[in-house]
Structure 1
Amino acid sequence: MTSNDAWWRGAVIYHVYPRSFQDTSGDGIGDLNGITQRLGHIAELGADAVWISPFVRSPMRDFGYDVLDYCDVDPMFGTLEDFHRLLDTAHKRDLKVLMDQVLSHTSSDHPWFLESRASRDNAKADWYVWADPRPDGSPPNNWLSVFGGSAWQWEPRRSQYYLHNFLREQPDLNFHNPSVRAAVLDVCRFWLEMGVDGFRLDVCAFYFHDPELKDNPPNPNRPSGKSFMFNPYSMQRHVNDIGQPENLAFLEELRGLCDAYSAVLLGELHETDAEKLHREYTAPGRLHLAYGYWLLGAEEIGAGDLYGLVRALGHEAHEGWPAWALENHDFMRAPSRLADGEAPMALTAALISMRGAFCFYQGAELGLPEANVPFERLADPYGREFYPAYPGRDGSRTPIPWNADAPHSGFSEVEPWLPIPAEHRALNAEDQGRLAGSVLARMRRFLNWRRTRPELRDGNMDMLDLPEPVFGFVRAREEDRLLCLFNLGDGPVDVDPPQTGFGTPVEGHGLDWASHAGRVRLPRGGGYFGELA
């Protein structure tokens, strides 16, 4: 098996959005004790680690991604003692814990920003990104906010603009200032000393900006699809506001800190030049793992798409490690987003079997579709800004349905912060756990089988040239070689023997297949594994 220090290479990382996992305090919002209570579900699924979205003190304008105090738990979620208990319980269950770190920006209520905005000559005057207006009073350049409009907000106390890549209440820290870099490293050290096993780095390409504040050029290859077309942000190539070369040196410094604690860095990459960033950011001495938006915003994913992506990111033994993600808290759930109306088991199994880690978003193991949240219940500021063209991210953030009979599906004793739709209640975890053919039961079977296959965790990967819709590769570790075939089409397909042959069939993984006349038949959603001599 993978050595303990390299557990991350083939890890299944279960992503918890704490507001919506389990409420134990009776306020309709999930909390740390709720995560602790449900760690058994995550361990039984076959996960190796838990990534927890932000739970530190925050005004919650962007639900924890606007940090007020980096080193304390928000009372909404519990206390530092509750987090200690969560860590201890997770480690006893052999689960690692990754904490979401939002280092690129803070809340506008953070004491650092309150001091910085007060004048141009205070001790923290240069801790954020400030710029004078153009002669006509307009912002200093054309940079846009991800959440709509200009990325610049006027501050009358200083007669300057400050940069905010997201909400105007989320001012960007100035990473060109060494004092800022030292401060955020101290934040990370605080949690490492507490015992966290690593960090998911929110928008880690955003730390540095072009100090000359040059305009961004137009984007000739604007991405398509529901996840992008509503927002003019994707009309620019973000080559000056993010992804700056200075970022790499800082990531190396952060990696050095984490290596001292055997902790892991999982980075989130933006879509602009994401393949190039992936190769740079996962080079030796930088991020252990990184994921991009390649699959998260996709409405169709075929074998050719995966082949192209693997080639672009690199899959040789000397290259960096990706983290594959099909769903998360920022994108529409896959069963509603993908063109065929569901996220087939074969696609998920293929991603989990490929070289790299896999980020498994809460509720995906239940096959939850996107929830339809009415406007009057929308909480996401992103959605409220662009509604109705884009309803926001709340549809993927609704509470987990644990059972059908309890009030509010066992998530809370009171009305949850977001509604639980009836179709989700029908897919509750308790009922699915009793049904051998359910999404949950099949995913448990597959993930726990995968844990027994060392070559699927940290082995090399050799791609096979197969006709659509079959996707295939060989994973190899020492003397063990495993053939992996997946049907990503919308109907059954017969597979001729690849150049490797089919080998000896492996059972126990839960994917459907059959042999006949020298071929392997894969039904829709089916897969085949064979041990090669």
Structure 2
Amino acid sequence: MTLTKDENWWRGAVIYQIYPRSYQDSNADGIGDLAGIVQRLPHIAGLGADAIWLSPFFTSPMKDFGYDVADYCDVDPMFGTLADFETLVTTAHALGLRVMIDLVLSHTSDAHPWFKESRVDRSNPKADWYVWADPSPDGTPPNNWLSIFGGPAWHWDSRRQQYYLHNFLTSQPDLNFHEPAVQEALLDVARFWLKLGVDGFRLDTINFYFADKYLRANPPLPKELRNDSIAPAVNPYNHQLHLFDKNQPENLEFLKKFRDVLRPYGAAAVGEVGDAQRGLEIMAEYTSGGDKVQMCYPFEMLQPARLTAQGVAQIFTRMGRAAPDAWPCWSYSNHDTVRHITRWHLSDAGAKAYTALLIALRGSICLYQGEELGLPEAELSFEDLQDPYGIEFWPEFKGRDGCRTPMVWQRDNLHGGFSTAAKAWLPVTAPHLPLAVSEQAGEAGSMLEFYRAALAFRRAHPVLRDGSMEGLQAEGDVVQFLRRGDEVLFCAVNLGETCITVTLPEGSWQGIGAELGGQPVTGGTVTLDAWQICLARRA
């Protein structure tokens, strides 16, 4: 298959996220790598995805498993080489898959040469490349900002006799985006990978790039407004309204510069908006106007509480008010959240109903590896944990390792076909093995075959990729709407256990999508039992 040149390829695309440590180990060291991913790309192409997103594989001390970058322009030996990456790009393109990589621009590792130079003194060429601040008169940090990983967001450095900002681990100092040289260096990083053939980027913590240049303190957040979608409830990070440590207006101009870098390559970017209060509004701000990033994904569908029909309606109402041309990238699961099968306590029928909803919504889609198998969250012991986040807040919060365990390819294998090593970096748990690709491929009614059918249905109906979305309403557990373009489709999904009869809009309708469980339409109505869907085409 040959990729067509299309600068709007991202619009409505299905992007499959790969966590490289856990996808396929090719050299028997118990850790996934780029060569292993190359071996498994046919699975993703066969699923029907349009692109892959690779979580970080850059040179790193791995204190946050690659999200602490020590060299933006090289591959960590753990994952292979630049030549391996180029092979991956070539192979993916030959299979019709575009390649997006994870850029972590808000912070680096403290092992990065930039930070090593910056911390030497206050007058070196990179002295202002990170967010440094003098202590308060009593020696305490300059303000009350908190780290998502727990405790103050400031760490004392005895060499400079100053604090530096870290929104995450103390080993992840935040870059100073108010310094023009920092912006240009990061744009050069994007150019480096674009020249190697990548088709776009996932931008980690996109709303954290700038901190308030006056370092003003955050106000408290009333208890009734706290939300644990960004940090666990046991973390006092949720006690603040984060007005000044992120979401700064200067970010818009940087995103315009980033878009200018993407434009000659026809590349796209999807930003991660980490904000519990204004995620949808920030997403709309960053994606509207056609001059910033093309897509963002907020956390509204990554919440602990199950997404309801009313919740879907509220999300799209808020988004429409913020910016009609905003472009979301929806996901239910990723490498930072409990898998949605477990998080929302879903049966197979429930999981399939939510998948049908996902492929029908306006926007692009991110699928997380193993989601297509219906993998639940893996139950791990404290001794198995690798995630510093989980170790810090155990046992009230078990961290992110439960969603990061290896992909399962074969049932009759110690590590599910992931590795031949004696021990994998995280264990494959027994409940995952019966859900392996080998057990589901070709099996009618399996979750894998449902995902394949759902993505094929979306591809067969371009209106689902970029058509308008109208008449969204929620009635009980049923969410329904129209998608309008070259054809008009009616979509209704029952997200609950109660049987409901739905009246279709005026006109003549033909039921479609039987392969997804689409119910027949008779006389302008359709009865939806628990977790059933209706997909209909206007005749």
TM-score for both structures, normalised by structure 1: 0.96
Q: Who is 1:462 aligned against?
A: 470
- Within-5 A mapping of 1:41-190: 41-190=43-192
Q: Would you say 1:361 and 2:368 are equivalent positions? A: yes
Q: Would you say 1:385 and 2:392 are equivalent positions? A: yes
What amino acid is aligned across from residue 386 of structure 2 in structure 1?
A
Q: Would you say 1:240 and 2:244 are equivalent positions? A: yes
What amino acid is aligned across from residue 30 of structure 1 in structure 2?
G
Q: Who is 2:226 aligned against?
A: 222
Asked if structure 1 preserves the Cα contact closer than 8 Å seen for 2:17 and 2:366, the reply is: yes
Deviation at 1:194, TM superposition (A): 0.6
Asked if structure 2 preserves the Cα contact closer than 8 Å seen for 1:225 and 1:299, the reply is: no
Q: Would you say 1:264 and 2:268 are equivalent positions? A: yes
CA distance in 2, matches of 1:383, 1:397: 12
- Within-5 A mapping of 1:98-497: 98-220=100-222, 221-223=225-227, 228-271=232-275, 272-284=277-289, 285-314=291-320, 319-340=325-346, 344-414=351-421, 415-478=423-486, 480-495=487-502, 497=503
Deviation at 1:419, TM superposition (A): 0.7
CA distance in 1, matches of 2:469, 2:19: 32
Unaligned runs of at least 5 residues, structure 1:
none
CA distance in 2, matches of 1:327, 1:14: 11
CA distance in 1, matches of 2:522, 2:469: 27
Deviation at 1:525, TM superposition (A): 2.5
What amino acid is aligned across from residue 16 of structure 1 in structure 2?
I
CA distance in 1, matches of 2:474, 2:104: 42
Q: Who is 1:20 aligned against?
A: 22
Deviation at 1:521, TM superposition (A): 2.3
CA distance in 2, matches of 1:173, 1:56: 17
Alignment RMSD: 1.8
Q: 1:170 to 1:408 in 2, by over 3 A?
A: same
Q: Would you say 1:527 and 2:533 are equivalent positions? A: yes
Deviation at 1:516, TM superposition (A): 5.6
CA distance in 2, matches of 1:224, 1:51: 26
Asked if structure 2 preserves the Cα contact closer than 8 Å seen for 1:303 and 1:471, the reply is: yes
Asked if structure 1 preserves the Cα contact closer than 8 Å seen for 2:285 and 2:322, the reply is: no
CA distance in 1, matches of 2:62, 2:111: 11
Asked if structure 2 preserves the Cα contact closer than 8 Å seen for 1:321 and 1:356, the reply is: yes
CA distance in 2, matches of 1:36, 1:25: 13
CA distance in 2, matches of 1:465, 1:163: 44
SS of corresponding position for 1:179? helix
CA distance in 2, matches of 1:502, 1:395: 47
SS of corresponding position for 1:38? helix
CA distance in 2, matches of 1:315, 1:434: 44
293-302 or 451-460: bigger deviation: 293-302
Deviation at 1:230, TM superposition (A): 1.7
SS of corresponding position for 2:415? helix
Asked if structure 2 preserves the Cα contact closer than 8 Å seen for 1:466 and 1:498, the reply is: no
Q: Who is 2:517 aligned against?
A: 511
Deviation at 1:501, TM superposition (A): 4.7
CA distance in 2, matches of 1:260, 1:358: 24
CA distance in 1, matches of 2:405, 2:447: 19
What amino acid is aligned across from residue 276 of structure 1 in structure 2?
E
Unaligned runs of at least 5 residues, structure 2:
none
How many residues of Structure 1 are paired with residues of Structure 2 in the alignment? 530
SS of corresponding position for 1:505? strand
296-305 or 217-226: bigger deviation: 217-226
CA distance in 2, matches of 1:468, 1:195: 47
What amino acid is aligned across from residue 116 of structure 1 in structure 2?
S
Deviation at 1:355, TM superposition (A): 0.8
CA distance in 2, matches of 1:470, 1:397: 32
Deviation at 1:407, TM superposition (A): 3.3
101-110 or 316-325: bigger deviation: 316-325
Asked if structure 2 preserves the Cα contact closer than 8 Å seen for 1:116 and 1:125, the reply is: yes
Aligned partner of 1:500 among 493, 501, 506? 506
CA distance in 1, matches of 2:117, 2:523: 75
Asked if structure 2 preserves the Cα contact closer than 8 Å seen for 1:514 and 1:522, the reply is: no
SS of corresponding position for 1:145? coil
Asked if structure 1 preserves the Cα contact closer than 8 Å seen for 2:130 and 2:174, the reply is: yes
What amino acid is aligned across from residue 171 of structure 1 in structure 2?
P
Deviation at 1:113, TM superposition (A): 0.4
SS of corresponding position for 2:516? coil
Deviation at 1:508, TM superposition (A): 4.8
SS of corresponding position for 1:9? coil
Per-residue CA distance 1:365-413 (angstroms, 9 max, x = gap): 0111111111011000000011111110000000011011133110000
Q: 1:376 to 1:466 in 2, by over 3 A?
A: closer
Q: 1:453 to 1:396 in 2, by over 3 A?
A: same
240-249 or 216-225: bigger deviation: 216-225
What amino acid is aligned across from residue 248 of structure 1 in structure 2?
L
Q: 1:518 to 1:251 in 2, by over 3 A?
A: closer
CA distance in 2, matches of 1:227, 1:469: 29
CA distance in 2, matches of 1:313, 1:74: 39
SS of corresponding position for 1:7? coil
Deviation at 1:214, TM superposition (A): 0.5
What amino acid is aligned across from residue 419 of structure 1 in structure 2?
P
Asked if structure 1 preserves the Cα contact closer than 8 Å seen for 2:164 and 2:173, the reply is: yes
Q: 1:509 to 1:434 in 2, by over 3 A?
A: closer
TM-score for both structures, normalised by structure 2: 0.95
Deviation at 1:518, TM superposition (A): 5.2
Asked if structure 1 preserves the Cα contact closer than 8 Å seen for 2:23 and 2:407, the reply is: yes
Deviation at 1:512, TM superposition (A): 4.1
CA distance in 2, matches of 1:313, 1:213: 30
CA distance in 2, matches of 1:380, 1:466: 39
Asked if structure 2 preserves the Cα contact closer than 8 Å seen for 1:227 and 1:331, the reply is: no
Q: 1:441 to 1:227 in 2, by over 3 A?
A: farther
CA distance in 1, matches of 2:219, 2:81: 46
Per-residue CA distance 1:159-205 (angstroms, 9 max, x = gap): 00000000000000000000000100000000011110000000011
361-370 or 460-469: bigger deviation: 460-469
Deviation at 1:317, TM superposition (A): 9.7
Q: Who is 1:29 aligned against?
A: 31
